[in-house]
Structure 1
Amino acid sequence: MEASWGSVNAERGWYVSAQQPEEAEAEELSPLLSNELHRQRSPGVSFGLSVFNLMNAIMGSGILGLAFIMANTGILGFSFLLLTVALLASYSVHLLLSMCIQTAVTSYEDLGLFAFGLPGKVVVAGTIIIQNIGAMSSYLLIIKTEFPAAIAEFLTGDYSRYWYLDGQTLLIIICVGIVFPLALLPKIGFLGYTSSLSFFFMMFFALVVVIKKWSIPCPLTLNYVEKCFQISNATDDCKPKLFHFSKESAYALPTMAFSFLCHTSILPIYCELQSPSKKRMQNVTNTAIALSFLIYFISALFGYLTFYDKVESELLKGYSKYLPHDVVVMTVKLCMLFAVLLTVPLIHFPARKAVMMMFFSNFPFSWIRHFLITLALNIIIVLLAIYVPDIRNVFGVVGASTSTCLIFIFPGLFYLKLSREDFLSWKKFGAFVLLIFGILVGNFSLALIIFDWINK
């Protein structure tokens, strides 16, 4: 039990002496990791701001699709699946932090390098780039489709030809004026205050979803010029379902995985945390995931109990249809759009870091390179946001492939490879379960989604 194993990181010239699992659980950081953390952080980000940053990485456009998922899984089915994904997400972070202590590295990409050499690093970096680009483009897609409509609701008359009601024009202006400057910041901790603002916007959104449950009658009706059109004749449509399965249920686990994915931001936030330790960062993670779970569940439950089977794949569209020109709804839509918008710069950081580590890991930091990579990522996500027709497609494909890899498959696989524990140990068995769960969920969901596309 006193033996240790060593490995050489060819890229950085580090000799890493990783302790046995029992020793790795100790609160003290290894000297190499401690030095690396102190080098990267100055003076350090507080616990609260770290929680806000991580919640901002977790919460985004995924919150808008969860009511639709509840409609296609039922209340109890949704609750079980969401809780399962949240617990597994927290456990996979626990494995990542354990490996971070053992290997003395501070990036997801380097964990892939330690586990499987250069191919492992390239696969992890490529997966992070694809996932983060997909996430950012989905957020900007919401901005493009919803922001002009949100502005138009505050106006009277015909302004359809004006530039500020054109989604593509607004998208470009917002990315140039807000997203790009925030993404250029050198450290992720600088976004703590914008992340706290985003968190309160999300809270406001959940509160309004609860309140407006009693403002939209069921059966649902549409009001046009003092005439009422009932679009649902069956009172059975107003009864919540505890369990439900349909072809749309294929999007459930991928969307939930997409909604809880924060693993690419874990280690950057860890590096800038005040008094960094495994326990302290795990507490940050558990707090952020628990608060995110609560807001997710409340907004999904009351969104579903408002529209039932008529809930849209993007929840905001339902309120635009049934409560046009409602001041509270219009306000919360703007707040939600700003919350989604403020998430995009945060996701720029791990995406840019992955590009740097894949192509420029042996080069010193350069502001020119930093600027050009950020600009290139910004251009790519804007183009994707302009041409992707349905946000559900982004949720499904990205969630079923890259998100399941980053949240389930990679942490489990890397821990099985790097840990010297006995295979029958609880932690290694948990890593194996995480790996198998990720493979099954990813392949099954992706197959169902492709089958659904073929049928359409």
Structure 2
Amino acid sequence: MALPRGAGRGAAAAAERGWYLSAREEDEDADEDAESAPLLPGSVRHPPDRGSSFGFSVFNLMNAIMGSGILGLSYAMANTGIMGFSILLLIVAGLASYSVFLLLSMCTQTAVTSYEDLGLFAFGSPGKVLVATTIIIQNIGAMSSYLLIVKSELPGAVAGFLSGDSESGFSSRSWYLDGRLLLLITSVCVVFPLALLPKIGFLGYTSSLSFFFMVYFTLVIIIKKWSIPCPLPLSSGVENLQISNITGECKAKLFRLSKESAYAIPTMAFSFLCHTSVLPIYCELQSPSKSRMQNVTVTGIGLSFLIYFVSALFGYLTFYDKVGSELLQGYSRYLPHDTVIMTVKLAILFAVILTVPLIHFPARKAVLMVFFSHLPVSWICHIFITLTLNTIVVLFAMYVPDIKNVFGVVGSTTSTCLLFVYPGLFYLKLSREDLISPQKLGACALVIFGICVGLLSLILIIFNWINQ
């Protein structure tokens, strides 16, 4: 999961706010030229050999989009049906692309390069604090979902290398197969030291590997669809297959509605959230313009949609209604010693462990912005914030029983705000168009959709918890 690399400073944004407000009064027609204008006022375009190419910018955006959400989309399809899932995923992807368009429109007007500073321009300091707080909660949820994968998959990976039978009795009692203990060791020995680094450095390059791991994961899901029989074995392991007689388990449903369907849209919103990375990627684009960056966005989200849909479809067609909320768990159960599955586990674990420290950087920046903006930057503050964030994330990962809960709660709250609500609100506040213009009506619809879907999903999820 890639993250913003060029966030703007609050002081600079506040200074530029005065320029922006005066410019609005001087030139009411500035928007007409924004399509081809450089990002920053008075700045000179990079020559053609400077900045990121179109293809590399698409890759960066896809790297920002693709993350742990891919493991929960098959579960979403199982609870909405193939057609229901396809329609919902297409709606979320389309609205995500449209909300990026609104952010780019605000970017060309305000000349800022961070999501937080757009909140400052729109609603002053309270807006900036609100956006920063939302990003903190979102990133804590993202890090928790990654470490949940470590807790659930690392014991099986260790068992696969150390024992011929990962389900044996002595293995389940071994300390090195305790998921919580392995999670704690990994966090203390790997995640925390890497998160303490003052600069992202090599983590930016290693996190790019996570994108290729997601593609590899998708290819393996397609191939392994024919390695697991249906109906599913009652006993795990390919060497002792006891086939169920319930042939109805092997029928895919086109539409389905259940209490678990409440997790579908939040999981999709969680999976497509890349909006905190869009503006920095825009700044690094060759010959940056709103139309060129919008093409990058449509291409990146479109390709991500394809990978998400294919992985969800073949994951669902492998396990049908028995698909788990974390897809890899099904393969661990029915193909525990498969070499290819083991390589996928290792690839995902490697990507997760190296990406979690990367997510600490914007989370720590947002914490500094909200709570410690009046203090000078120091190593003591740096270490304290990193340790606090790491502790919170580890506790969540240890005691949250299911990854779908992270996708559901974070997706229905912070993800819907960053994906739908905030871009629409900022556009309504900052745009000089008439209230009945198509773009403002679209922004208003985006806000209403985000609020309604987020609240409805959260209420249904809480209702499910109460009735469990």
TM-score by length of 2: 0.86
Instruction: Name which of 25, 31, 36 aligns with 2:34.
Output: 25
2:98 matched to which residue of 1? 91
Question: Against the structure 1 CA distance between its residues 211 and 46, is the aligned structure 2 distance closer, same or farther, given a 3 Å change threshold?
Answer: same
In structure 2, the residue matched to 1:56 is 63
The CA deviation string for residues 43-71 of structure 1, in whole angstroms up to 9 with x for no partner, is 85565554444333322221111111111
Query: What is the rounded CA distance, in whole Å, between the counterparts of 2:33 and 2:381 in structure 1?
Result: 37
1:340 aligns with 2:329: no
Superposed counterparts of 1:370-449, under 5 Å: 370-449=382-461
Q: Are residue 133 (structure 1) and residue 140 (structure 2) matched?
A: yes
Using the alignment, how far apart are the partners of 2:136 and 2:221 within structure 1?
Answer: 33
Q: Structure 1 residue 320 and structure 2 residue 322: aligned?
A: no
Number of residues of Structure 1 aligned to a counterpart in Structure 2: 443
Question: d(CA) in 2 for partners of 1:341 and 1:47?
Answer: 29
Aligned to 1:100: 107
Q: Do the aligned partners of residues 326 and 176 (structure 1) sit closer, same or farther apart at CA in structure 2, a change above 3 Å counting?
A: same
> 2: CA distance between counterparts of 1:393 and 1:228?
32
Q: Aligned residue for 1:4? A: none
Q: CA 1:186–1:434 in 2, change beyond 3 Å: closer, same or farther?
A: farther
Report the CA distance between 1:306 and its aligned residue.
0.6
Q: Within 2, Cα distance between the matches of 1:102 and 1:54?
A: 22
Distance 1:399 1:54 in 2: 19
Could you tell me the percent identity over the aligned residues?
72
**How many Å apart are 1:212 and its aligned residue?**
0.7
Question: Does the CA contact (< 8 Å) of 2:99 and 2:423 recur in 1?
Answer: yes
Aligned AA (1:124): V
Conserved in 2, the CA contact under 8 Å of 1:189 and 1:272?
no
1:60–1:339 CA contact under 8 A, matched in 2: no
Matches of 1:448 and 1:219, distance apart in 2: 31
Paired amino acid for 2:241: C
Structure-2 change in CA distance of 1:328 and 1:9 (3 Å) = closer
Q: TM-score, normalised by structure 1?
A: 0.88
What is the identity, as a one-letter code, of the residue corresponding to 2:35? A
1:13 aligns to what? Answer: 15
Q: How does 1:56-455 map to 2 (within 5 A)?
A: 56-156=63-163, 158-160=170-172, 162-184=174-196, 191-223=203-235, 227-230=240-243, 232-273=244-285, 276-361=288-373, 366=378, 368-455=380-467
Q: SS in structure 1 opposite 2:161?
A: coil
Do the aligned residues in 2 keep the contact of 1:189 with 1:269 (CA within 8 Å)? Answer: no
Further displaced range: 12-21 or 80-89 = 12-21
Q: Is the 8 A contact 1:11 1:362 kept in 2?
A: no
Query: 1:371 deviation in Å?
Result: 4.2
**Counterpart of 1:28 in 2: which secondary structure?**
coil
Q: Greater shift after overlay, 266-275 or 103-112? A: 266-275
Alignment-mate amino acid for residue 27 of structure 1: S
Q: Where does structure 1 differ by over 6 angstroms across 4 or more consecutive aligned residues?
A: 8-11
Amino acid at match of 2:338: D
Does structure 2 conserve the Cα–Cα contact (< 8 Å) formed by 1:50 and 1:189? no
What is the CA-CA distance between 1:333 and the residue it aligns to? Answer: 1.6
Q: CA deviation at 1:349?
A: 2.8
Q: Counterparts of 1:337 and 1:212 in 2: how far apart (Å)?
A: 19
- Alpha-carbon distance in 2 for matches of 1:33, 1:355: 32
Contact kept, 8 Å, 1:21 with 1:420, in 2: the verdict is no
| Residues 213 and 303 in structure 1, CA contact (< 8 A), matched pair in contact too | yes
Map of 2:6 onto structure 1: none
Q: Distance in 2 between matches of 1:188 and 1:266?
A: 18
Quote the Cα distance in structure 1 between the aligned partners of 2:330 and 2:172.
21
The CA RMSD over aligned residues, in Å, is 2.8
Query: Residues 39 and 288 of structure 2 are in contact (CA less than 8 Å); yes or no, is this contact kept in structure 1?
Result: no
Whole-Å separation in 2 of the counterparts to 1:105 and 1:302: 41
Q: Offset of 1:159 from its aligned partner?
A: 4.6
Unmatched runs of 5 consecutive residues or more in structure 2: 1-9, 165-169
* Cα distance in 2, alignment partners of residues 320 and 260 from structure 1: 26
> Does the CA contact (< 8 Å) of 2:435 and 2:441 recur in 1?
yes
- Structure 1 residue 379, shift from structure 2 partner: 2.3
Secondary structure (helix, strand or coil) at the match of 2:253 reads: coil
Residue 139 of structure 1 and its aligned partner are, at CA, apart by 0.9
Measured after TM superposition, the shift of residue 312 of structure 1 is: 0.9
Report which stretch shifted further, 178-187 or 112-121: 178-187
Give the Cα–Cα distance (whole angstroms) in 1 for the partners of residues 326 and 278 of structure 2. 28
Mapped to 2, the partners of 1:223 and 1:450 lie a distance apart of 33
Q: Could you tell which deviates more after superposition, 55-64 or 301-310?
A: 55-64
Instruction: Tell me the CA shift for residue 271 of structure 1.
Output: 4.2
Q: 1:246-278 deviations in whole A, cap 9, x for unaligned?
A: 111111111100111111222344445555443
Deviations 1:210-263 (A, max 9, x none): 011111111111346854333x42322211111111111111111100111111
